[in-house]
Each structure stands twice: as C-alpha cells, then as structure tokens.
C-alpha cells in the first residue's frame, strides 16, 4: 500500500517536471514578445531593449527555465509582467472565484445526473429513461455560454432577479458572492450533468448484469435494495472517474462562462495573460492546471481503493 | 355571522392597504433627496488596463482609467482637443523655438503628500527621457537636451531642435507628472496630483478611485465621491450589465449592432461621438504589387467606404480619405480624391500591368471591425478581379510580430488609436515601408513651427499627399458609442484623446 503510494507520488513528480519543461518550450515558441506588446507601436529599439532587460528576457533560455523552476519549487511563482504583482497572489485571488464555481457546478451536476441516471437504468425504456435521454442529449448539445446568455436575459434583464454578471468579492458577504455564482454554475453544470447522466445510466446498466446482482435478486431482496445497496456502489467507479475529470475540466474550461458573466476567474486570467503574452503568468497557470489534473487523477485512484475492497487487495 | 366576520376584516385590509400606500409614499419622499445626492459612479470598460502607470506601458486602457483622474500633466487636452494649462499655469517659447519656460502652479500636492514643484516636474521628465526609460512615447522627449529649475515654480526646457508638437505631447497620458518617492510603484498603486485618488484594484474585475479632498484646483474638483471602473469584455455582457442597472455608464460600448437594443430603455441615453480611431488597411509599400501607386489607387477606388461602414460597424462611423479625423486641427475631407469607381479602378490596374488582377493576403486581427471590414473589401476587390485571402492574425502578439517587427505581410487592417499620428508615414522604420521625402519634409516643417495656423496648413498638405498616394487604404473613423444613465451629466461625447475624464461628471435629477 505504502509502496504503491510512493510509486504514484514519484510518478506524479516526474510528470510535473516533464510538463513544466513542455510548458516552457511551448511558451518560448509562441510568436509575440511581451515587451513590444507593453510598449505599443511607437517604442524605439532602445526602449524595447531596456524593457527586455527589466523583465529578464535578455537572459539565456536555459537560465530562465532554471530560475522559474527554482522559484516554483521554493514557492515563488514570479511577478506578472503586465500587472506587476506576484503571480501566486493572482492565482489565489482567481481561485477564490473559480474553485467555488466549479464546486457548485459539480455538486449541481451530481445532484441532477446521478439520481436521473440510476432511475433511467433501473426502469429501462420507461418514462425516466426517456426523460434522461432527452435531458442528456439537449444539455450536451447546447453550449454552456448560450445557456449563460439565456439565463442572463431571463433572470437579469427581464426579471431583474439576479446580477447580470461580475463578482462582488467574498468580502461583500457570502450570500451576494454565492448569488453571483448561481447562474454561472447552472450554465456550467448543464452539459456536465448531461454527460454524467449517460455515464451513470450505462454504469448501472452494466452492473445490473453482473453475477452478484442476479444473486441478490435470487436471494429475494427487494428491487430497490438490490439497486441502491448492490448495484449503485459497484457502478460508482466510472461515475467517480467522470466526476474527477469534470472537476478539472470545469476549473480549466470555465473561460467562456467566466467571460459571459464577467467573473474574475482563473480561466479569464489565463486568456488575458495569453493575449498579453504575460509569459510568466501563462507558465504558472498552465502548470497549475496540469498539476490539478495530475493530482485529481491521483485522488480518484485513491478513492477507488477506498470504495472497492478488491482493488485494495490487488494493491 | 359570515358577513359580520368579514366586515371588520375587509375594513382592516382597506386600512392596512391605505397605511401601506401612505407609508410607501413617505418612504419615497424620504428617498428622493437621498437619490438626488448620488455621488458614486460605476463605469464599464471593455479592456482591463495592464498596470496603472501610463508612463511605462502603451495600452490605451491605462490612460482611460488614470489620465486626468489620478494623473495630471503640465498641460492637458480638453474635450475639443485643445491644449489647456494644468500643472503649468503658463509657458513661454523663445523666438528660436529652443527654450520653453513653464510657470508652475503653487501649493499642489501629490496624493502621498509630496509637493509638486519644478524638482518633481524635472524628475518626471528625466524619468521619461532617461537611458533606462521604458516610456512608450520616449520619442516625445527626444529633443529635450537639458532641464533647469531656477526656482520651485519655474521649469525650463532646453531643446536641441524646434519641436512644434512638444506642448501637445506634454498633454498626453505618457507625459503625466509622477511623485518622485512613489513613482516606482505607480504600476500597481498610482500616485498623482489628480482630483481622484487610487483606492483599490481587484484584478480582472474593477479599479476603484475616491475623491481627492485636498485637490488643488477648486474649479475642477471631483463632484463624485467614488468611481468604480468595471471591466467587461463580452459585448452581450456589457449590454446586460447596462440594462440590469449594474452599470451607470459605458462610454465606449463595443458592439454597434447592439446600440439599437437600448432604444426603448427610458433609463439610459445613447450618444454617438467621434474618436481618434482610424481604421485603415495598411499595405506593404515595399512589396510587389503594392510598390506601384496605381495598384494602391485602384484598390482604394474599388472600395465603397459607406458599404464597409455598413457591413463592419452597423453604419456608424465617418468615412475618411486620409490618416486624419474630423477632430484634428486642419482636417480636410479627402474622400473625394479617390472615390468609389470600379471602371477607373480596373483601368488603373490594367495600366499597372495587372489586367487580370492578382492575389494577395490580408492579415486581419480578431477585433470585430477587422474581419468584418475585410470580408466586405474581399467582395469589392473581386469586382476588379483581385483575389484577397483573409488570414486571421492574433492581436496584439502575433500581429505586432508579423507586421511591426518582421514586415511579413501584404496588407493588414487595424484601427490606429493615437491622436494626430499622421507622422507615422514619415517614421522609419514603420510597417507601411512608405518612403516619401516630400511627406517627411512636411513632418519636419510641422515641428519647426509652433504656430497652430501654420501647423494646420501643413497638415492639410500632408493629408493631400496621403490621399493621393494611399500607402494605406483609408476606410473610416470609429464612432464613440456611449450609453449612460439619463441623469448622468458631464461625460465626454467625443474623444480627442483616449480617456474617461471624470472631474466634471455628476448626477442631476
């Protein structure tokens, strides 16, 4: 068990190192120079050179990579070229928006999808199944930003019930902050719930045909006892995997919804840093996304062990 | 029984509703004066500034938050585009145009308590022109040879060559006065002499300013106590924020096609003013076939500017025939020099040796006006047998690299934002690769005179040269699309320089 954890952890670190090298190389290949973007179209070559020196861009590539990596390891993510503040602070500020948003979306998606998927599978071909199929098809087909726009038109512009966008900050109180996140979370959760409904439905269907399910029925257990005590727990692995994937996807992929609702989240930070070629912010944010995916996978793996005793034995 | 039991309750309900109406009325009368005294403003902008120091980075959004609000200059540029004294009360230019003597305002303090005087003015200018300067407009200060400060209220600039635009340039965001002790931190916590003080910046969301109670100029003191700049990139989100009342104003609304959506909204007014944003399709004048003037003229004559404006910007915009806007001194309408004429365009092409047209690529940035204009132009060029391929080019990063640095392009399209920047055609190097000694001589002459009338005449000649030579296809000036609360007064309708000047803004019933 401990050997497994150690193996997984060292694998995780090696992956992160390779990813950091890739990120650095890709950023360097991107066309565009942060200094000339900052100085605009009138800057003279001398002014550009002065800014290059200020930003440390005149140093050799390998040295810059080394400095960045050493900084990241020691917890110093560097300073944003354009904002002029430490990147770590920027990421933390943005996470205070994106993390609760993604969490709300995941919870919403699970609350809708898991019961719907399970019911659809248990009464295959019945009314729940039809509803579930329709729901998942529609919600997968409709893009999140469009749902976002519809929500804004209905609840903000027409009814005036909700703020049209923006984020008051947690300092303004938990309730206003949560209120600002409700509509974005619904918009984000819809397509996820569609996918998750399908996964839950097929996972439950697959498990239904397993021997233990048949045995449980043969033992004379009630339909619902078989479903909730035997089938659903065994169908949880694909469902959990999907939730884990969705969570990382939501954090990294909320860019469009953050844009429509004008939320100062991590996705928008990444987008802005990209267009300004704020390379240091880009490197840090992408590395953070990568680390998040890797760590989430690690957690999902661990949760398999917690759920399924067979896997613990195998390990 | 039933009736009896109902009667009092009906009376009770009536009384209750009467009471409610009366108390609501009381509440409303009590609230009206409170509303009239509204002293905060929430204003929307499309682009968040990158840093808040206009003296070290170029993006116009920096000046649109801080210029005239937080930072002030020796002189300023007013609503009409005219130069006005500010931290300098007055100035004298020597007969040879080489010595500028400024008399400075007395008793002015920066927000950090430091005094503004000749020494801090010298510091600001030296910082902008020094060897380590990263001022985006460092060229403005190139002719300053030395600076003297005979006393605290006198600043003397000695120039190496006459510079007729110097006073105008000193009114720009890049030339503002900064406090010596805190200048290094202006990027995140700007300190100036302006009517508003910097309060906070929630990155990605908003910048807040508050009234400077110790402001030196009683006539221009802020009427608002607090101003919040909110940054909303998406045009749909901008419209929603305005309609839901989250924003009081959007002085530069980004989507002309959504302007009519405010038509029936009793709370807001819309305003269409001028900007300095010249949308031009610049060509690589060093490259075949664009090195042939007849080809450039043919392309210009193939374009119906009105149709471009309709297609790209919902018909809102002013056609131009040169790199000059109606805001600028000495403006002349040059749209008649090479008017839309397909037959003449074809003849010019044939004369230049392209009777069957040619093919080329336009590098179009992603800002809405560019691909839309390019698509209309594509159809018009097809009429004269010219095939134009549109290549989307990421702005600013890839665009700056390809066009400004590498000159790897045939044609591009971009809105030039700098006021009075007709001199870019005389700059070497600059992306048009345009070389015309006669034009350069005019630009030199502008700097040799400080007389506004003489300058206007020279600018007139320069416009004529560009209109005939068309180093770039001149399309239109962007409108300033303002949407704001009806009760809000004092926002600029035109934009002779990119800004949101808020000292004169207030709420009126």
Mind listing the pLDDT tens digit for each residue in A225-241?
888 888 888 888 889 88
Among chain B residues, the shortest Cα distance to A268 is held by: B204
Please give the backbone phi and psi of residue B98, each rounded to the nearest 5 degrees, phi first. Answer: -105, -10
Q: What residues contact A96, with CB distance under 8 A and at least 6 apart?
A: A170
Question: Cβ–Cβ of A163/B404 closer than 8 Å?
Answer: no
Asked whether this complex has an ipTM greater than 0.90, the answer is no
Question: E-assigned strands of A104-236?
Answer: none
- In this predicted structure, the answer to whether residue B178 has a pLDDT above a threshold of 70 is yes
Q: How far is B355 from chain A (nearest CA, A)?
A: 37
Q: Does B175 touch chain A (CB under 8 A)?
A: no
Confidence of residue B9 (pLDDT cuts 50, 70, 90): very low
CB contact, 8 Å: A86 with chain B?
no
pLDDT band at residue B1 under the 50/70/90 scheme: very low
A154 CA to chain B: closest CA distance, Å?
A: 11
Given the structure tokens 């303090």, which residue do they identify?
Answer: B109
B158 beta partners:
B99, B146
Looking at beta carbons, which residues of chain B come within 8 Å of A168? none
What span, in angstroms and rounded, lies between the C-alpha atoms of B49 and A195?
38
User: Is the CB of B234 less than 8 angstroms away from the CB of A259?
Assistant: yes
| pTM across the whole model | 0.88
- Count of pairs with CB atoms under 8 A, one residue in A, one in B: 149
Of residues B134, B203, B396, nearest to A47 (C-beta): B134
A135-177: pLDDT as tens digits: 999 999 998 888 988 998 899 888 888 888 888 888 889 999 9
Strand pairing category for B387-392 and B359-364: parallel
Q: What is the mean pLDDT of residues B228-245?
A: 90
pLDDT at B32 over 70: no
pLDDT score at B31: 46
* Per-residue pLDDT, B36: 55
Q: Please, which pLDDT band fits residue B3 given cuts at 50, 70 and 90? A: very low
Among A32, A44, A264, beta carbon nearest to B203: A264
Residue A236 · residue A304 · CB < 8 Å = no
Residues of B in contact with A149 (CB under 8 A): 236
CB within 8 A of B409, min separation 6: which ones? B284, B361, B363, B402, B403, B431
Question: Which of A40, A172, A184 to substitute to test the interface with B, most B CBs within 10 Å?
Answer: A40
């Amino acid at each position: 068990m401990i050997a497994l954890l150690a193996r997984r952890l060292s694998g995780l670190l090696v992956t992160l190192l390779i990813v950091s090298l890739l990120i650095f190389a890709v950023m360097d290949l991107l066309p565009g120079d942060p200094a000339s973007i900052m100085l605009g179209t009138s800057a003279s070559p001398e002014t550009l050179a002065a800014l290059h020196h200020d930003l440390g861009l005149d140093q050799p590539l390998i040295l810059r990579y080394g400095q960045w990596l050493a900084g990241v390891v020691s917890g110093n993510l560097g300073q944003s070229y354009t904002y002029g503040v430490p990147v770590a602070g920027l990421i933390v500020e943005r996470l205070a928006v994106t993390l609760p948003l993604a969490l709300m979306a995941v919870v919403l998606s699970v609350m809708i999808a898991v019961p719907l998927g399970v019911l659809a599978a248990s009464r295959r071909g019945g009314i729940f199944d039809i509803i579930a199929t329709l729901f998942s098809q529609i919600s997968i087909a409709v893009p999140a930003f469009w749902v976002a726009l519809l929500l804004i038109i209905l609840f903000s512009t027409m009814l005036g019930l909700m703020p049209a966008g923006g984020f008051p900050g947690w300092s303004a109180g938990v309730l206003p902050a949560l209120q600002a996140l409700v509509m974005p979370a619904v918009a984000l959760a819809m397509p996820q719930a569609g996918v998750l409904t399908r996964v839950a439905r097929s996972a439950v269907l697959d498990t239904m045909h397993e021997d233990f399910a048949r045995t449980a029925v043969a033992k004379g257990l009630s339909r619902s006892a078989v479903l909730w005590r035997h089938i659903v727990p065994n169908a949880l692995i694909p469902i959990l995997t999907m939730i884990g994937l969705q969570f990382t996807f939501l954090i990294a992929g909320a860019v469009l919804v953050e844009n429509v609702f004008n939320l100062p989240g991590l996705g928008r930070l990444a987008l802005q840093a990209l267009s300004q070629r704020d390379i240091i912010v880009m490197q840090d944010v992408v590395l953070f996304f990568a680390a998040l995916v890797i760590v989430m996978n690690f957690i999902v793996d661990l949760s398999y062990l917690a759920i399924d005793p067979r896997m613990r034995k195998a390990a | 029984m039933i009736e009896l039991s109902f009667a009092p309750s009906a009376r009770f309900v009536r009384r209750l509703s009467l009471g409610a109406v009366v108390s609501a009325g009381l509440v409303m009368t009590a609230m009206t004066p409170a509303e009239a005294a509204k002293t905060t403003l929430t204003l929307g902008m499309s682009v968040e500034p990158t840093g808040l120091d206009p003296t070290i980075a170029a993006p116009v959004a920096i000046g649109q938050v801080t210029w005239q609000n937080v930072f002030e200059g020796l002189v300023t540029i007013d609503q009409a585009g005219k130069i006005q004294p500010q931290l300098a009360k007055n100035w004298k230019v020597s007969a040879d145009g080489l010595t500028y003597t400024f008399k400075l305002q007395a008793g002015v303090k920066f927000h950090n308590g430091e005094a503004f005087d000749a020494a801090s003015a010298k510091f600001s200018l030296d910082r902008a022109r020094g060897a380590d300067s990263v001022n985006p407009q460092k060229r403005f200060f190139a002719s300053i040879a030395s600076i003297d400060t005979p006393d605290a209220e006198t600043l003397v600039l000695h120039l190496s060559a006459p510079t007729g635009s110097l006073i105008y340039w000193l009114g720009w965001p890049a030339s503002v006065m900064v406090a010596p002790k805190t200048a290094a931190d202006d990027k995140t916590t700007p300190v100036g002499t302006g009517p508003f003080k910097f309060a906070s910046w929630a990155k990605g969301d908003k910048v807040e300013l508050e009234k400077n109670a110790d402001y030196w100029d009683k006539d221009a003191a802020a009427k608002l106590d607090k101003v919040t700049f909110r940054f909303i990139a998406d045009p749909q989100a901008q419209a929603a924020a305005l309609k839901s009342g989250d924003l009081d104003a959007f002085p530069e609304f980004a989507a002309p096609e959504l302007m009519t959506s405010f038509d029936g909204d009793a709370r807001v007014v819309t305003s269409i003013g001028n900007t300095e944003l010249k949308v031009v399709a610049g060509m690589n004048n060093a490259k075949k076939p664009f090195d042939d003037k007849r080809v450039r003229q043919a392309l210009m004559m193939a374009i119906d500017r009105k149709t471009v404006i309709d297609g790209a910007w919902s018909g809102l915009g002013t056609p131009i025939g040169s790199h000059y806007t109606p805001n600028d001194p000495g403006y002349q309408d040059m749209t008649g020099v090479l008017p839309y004429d397909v037959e003449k365009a074809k003849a010019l092409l044939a004369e230049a040796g392209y009777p069957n047209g040619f093919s080329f690529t336009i590098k179009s940035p992603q800002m809405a006006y560019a691909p839309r204009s390019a698509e209309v132009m594509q159809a018009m060029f097809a009429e004269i047998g010219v095939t134009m391929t549109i290549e989307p080019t990421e702005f600013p990063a890839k665009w700056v690299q390809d066009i400004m640095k590498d000159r790897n392009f045939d044609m591009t399209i971009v809105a030039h934002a700098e006021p009075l920047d007709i001199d870019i055609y005389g700059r070497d190097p600059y992306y048009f690769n345009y070389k015309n000694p006669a034009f350069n001589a005019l630009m030199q002459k502008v700097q040799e005179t400080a007389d506004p009338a003489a300058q206007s005449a020279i600018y007139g000649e320069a416009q004529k040269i560009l209109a005939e030579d068309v180093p770039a296809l001149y399309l239109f000036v962007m409108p300033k699309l303002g949407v704001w609360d009806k009760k809000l007064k004092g926002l600029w309708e035109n934009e002779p320089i990119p800004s949101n000047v808020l000292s004169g803004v207030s709420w009126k019933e």
